[in-house]
Amino acid sequence: METPDFGIPPRLASRMSMAEQYEYLRTRLSRRRTLVTAGAVAGGLLTGCSGGSQPSGAATPAPSASSLDKAPGSAVVPFGRHLAFGADPRTQMRISWQVPSTVRKPYVRVGARPDDLGRRIEAEVRDLHTPGVEGVRPAVEQYYLHAALDDLLPGTTYYYGVGHDGFDPAAPDHRSTITSFRTAPSNPETFVFTAFGDQGVGRAAAANDQVLLREKPAFHLHAGDICYANSSGSGKESDGYDARFWDLFLKQTEPVARSVPWMVTTGNHDMEAWYSPDGYGGQLARFSLPDSGFDPRTAPGVYAFRYGNVGIVALDANDVSYEIPANFGYSEGKQTAWLDTELGELRAAKGIDFVVVFFHHCAYSTSAHASDGGVRAEWLPLFARHQVDLVINGHNHVYERTDAVKNGEVGKPVPIGGSTDPTRDGIVYVTAGGGGKDLYGFPAGVKESYEGHVGEREAVDTFHWTKSRQNSPETVQWSRVRYRGFSLLSVQARAGSDPRLTVSAFTDTGRRVDHFEVRRGR
């Protein structure tokens, strides 16, 4: 059934780009009077809310924006704190958070001790208005605040609190809101980072966050499909979009992201035509990410940073995806040209032993979405030319890991506990899409194979997406580890005379299901 008044009729949406959808929504939607503000549902996190359900509290009448806007600053409590590095993790940190209504003069207090937050940095407000859909949801107002901390000292722990007129985090009543972060050391001998995609809101997602905390990561990579406010995932907006999921997600994530930099990129569910022609206005409002990409204003999920001996590159695969073409080619080749230059600079940089790339759509996977031929055609030649050491994807809601892949074939088998050399063997690709959203499976008759449950070696009948949006069957030998469960990736980087990446996968209960090493020139 087509939506009569709001949203885009499905048959029309299937023929529209993101820019065309934005224009349609902008001209058709009128402002509704009933508003739900950020925080009206966040307080009910996980109460009757699983990965695919509506936000708890959605059926409960919420205060209108007009009544909350009149509340004194002392009654407005910040929530949803999340960190991200600036372009240089040694000296730059970005602090972001949410408030349930407008506030005056928001700021961050920061200092070397929790009882001495002498430095005060003004915050920027970025607000989003999401029109209502008749009979489906009210309109939503959300207020996101961001503060840029520069000129920090490397390898230093800082304490901070967020506030505004009427709410001072240094006041005795609010000191419990003070928390901390640590900048990147100049030359760490060893450190850990974690990764997954496709998280959403629910018990499994929250459980994965707790496993993540136990790994004590220096930062976390989120490979897209962050909260699933856009439930369709096809890049075609309809009345299924619900911005309130962002309130729930940021509340759920805060216990981790308030102290662990949360480095996100863009998945297909993260394209939101309500806010901008490219679908990324919402991401720009909610996150402050490094401005090191080819154009931070049009492609916020594209950037690079260096931490110790590892260079990290984030990409937006919506630009090259054959499967979901709503934003296909939006960068007009600029992203791929930037990638070529960035990988060359990282590979030549003094002190960088490893280059890790992460993005959403899979280059190699056998699960439901399988492999994206657009990713393979556009980026894999660059990965090979610059000898990328590890590629991390999401999109398929499983854990799957390849052998070392070279020229589309197995360059070297990498069994559980094995080791590989990208200068000789090829590249290992990891699908880490078990972040918390409803799980997928593997092709019929294909068995799982993971640590403690290793199956016989087998070829897998699967497919890849072509430019015509048809799937082309293929039988592959590179699928080495397959686990159908919630999971996350943990990578320990070691520098020194014998640099290596030790890559492990853990379930949402902390059980290890895979591990291997990446060592160059050994």
**In 200-324, at which residue ranges do the beta strands (DSSP E only) sit?**
219-222, 262-264, 303-307, 310-314
Q: How far is Cα 32 from Cα 467, in angstroms, rounded to an integer?
A: 40
Q: What is the pLDDT of residue 15?
A: 62
Amino acid identity of residue 159, one-letter, is Y
Domain boundary among 179, 213, 229: 179
The DSSP result for 424-491, as a single string, is: TS-BEEEEE--SSSPP---STTPPPBBTTB------EEEEEE-TTS-EEEEEES-EEEEE-S-EEEEE
Q: What is the pLDDT of residue 18?
A: 78
**Residues 165, 214: one domain?**
no
Q: How far is Cα 469 from Cα 10, in angstroms, rounded to an integer?
A: 18
Q: How far is Cα 258 from Cα 56, in angstroms, rounded to an integer?
A: 23
Is 26 a domain residue? Answer: no
- Please state, in angstroms and as integers, the Cα–Cα distance from residue 301 to each residue in 24, 222, 284, 318, 319, following that order: 25, 10, 9, 10, 11
Nearest Cα neighbor of 196 from 218, 226, 234, 216 is 226
Phi, psi of 503 (to 5 degrees): -105, 125
Residue range(s) defining the domain that contains residue 369 = 189-518
Is 418 a domain residue? Answer: yes
Q: What is the pLDDT of residue 7?
A: 56
Is 194 a domain residue? Answer: yes
CB contact at 8 A, 221 and 195? yes
CA-CA-CA-CA torsion for 275, 465, 393, 79, nearest 10 degrees?
20
**Residues 342, 397: one domain?**
yes
Domain boundary among 118, 152, 179: 179
**Residues 160, 209: one domain?**
no
**Residues 268, 383: one domain?**
yes
Is 224 a domain residue? Answer: yes
pLDDT digits (tens, 9 = 90+) for 48-84: 333 333 443 333 333 334 334 556 889 999 999 999 9
pLDDT digits (tens, 9 = 90+) for 9-38: 555 555 677 777 777 777 765 444 445 666
Tell me the HSE value of 61 on the side-chain side, using a 13 A CA sphere: 3
Q: What is the pLDDT of residue 133?
A: 75
Angle of CA points 113, 119, 121, to nearest 5°: 130
**Residues 175, 196: one domain?**
no
**Residues 312, 452: one domain?**
yes
**Residues 307, 424: one domain?**
yes
Q: What is the pLDDT of residue 9?
A: 57
Q: What is the pLDDT of residue 141?
A: 95
Is 260 a domain residue? Answer: yes
- For residue 83, what is the domain's CATH number? 2.60.40.380
CB contact at 8 A, 121 and 86? no
Q: Is 177 helix (H, G, I), strand (E, B) or coil?
A: helix
The b-or-e profile of 279-289 (16+ CB within 10 A means b, else e) is bbbbbbbbbbb
Q: What residues form DSSP beta bridges with 128?
A: 142
Q: How far is Cα 43 from Cα 214, in angstroms, rounded to an integer?
A: 25
Nearest Cα neighbor of 289 from 36, 95, 465, 127 is 95
**Residues 497, 459: one domain?**
yes
| Class of residue 498 by CB neighbours under 10 A (exposed 0-12, middle 13-18, buried 19+) | exposed
Q: What is the pLDDT of residue 236?
A: 60
Q: How many domains does the chain have?
A: 2
- For residue 393, what is the domain's CATH number? 3.60.21.10
**Residues 197, 241: one domain?**
yes
Q: How far is Cα 477 from Cα 401, in angstroms, rounded to an integer?
A: 12
Q: What is the DSSP letter of 15?
A: T
Q: What is the pLDDT of residue 138?
A: 84
Six token digits for residue 157: 């722990």
**Residues 418, 468: one domain?**
yes
Q: What residues form DSSP beta bridges with 507?
A: 487
Q: How far is Cα 235 from Cα 211, in angstroms, rounded to an integer?
A: 31
Beta-carbon contacts of residue 189 (< 8 Å; ≥ 6 apart): 494, 495, 496
Which segments of the chain have a pLDDT < 70? Answer: 1-15, 28-71, 234-239, 522
Q: How far is Cα 96 from Cα 78, in angstroms, rounded to an integer?
A: 10
Six token digits for residue 372: 């994206």
Q: How far is Cα 228 from Cα 384, in angstroms, rounded to an integer?
A: 33
